[in-house]
Amino acid sequence: MTSNFYCIGCDGSTLDMNEYYMVSDAIWDRVDGGENMLCIGCLEDRLGRRLTCVDFPDLPVNTMHKSRRSSRLQDRLRSNE
């Protein structure tokens, strides 16, 4: 596992952006994320669509620390569209 929390798309810190999350293996494999990090925006650019709640597995990283999430991540975790 990597200890580098910088997005490989924009070089922004996913920790500073409050965008630390996990998506399904199928989504991550599709965007060729490997052991790297991607912010929500760069992941969506690679995926070609907005993320929705079904893209995020029911894991503690996606359910805890709700107050420390970017508004963009909160929106995607709630979105059904």
Structure tokens at 73: 């991540």
The residues spanned by each domain of the chain are: 1-81
Give the C-alpha separation, 72 to 40, whole Å.
7
Least confident stretch, 30-39, 52-61, 62-71: 62-71
- Residue by residue, DSSP assigns 19-73 as ------HHHHHHTT-TT-B--HHHHHHHHTS---GGGS-S-HHHHS-GGGS-HHH
> Is the whole-model pTM more than 0.85?
yes
Q: Which residue has the higher pLDDT, 78 or 48?
A: 48
Three-class secondary structure of residue 8 per DSSP: coil
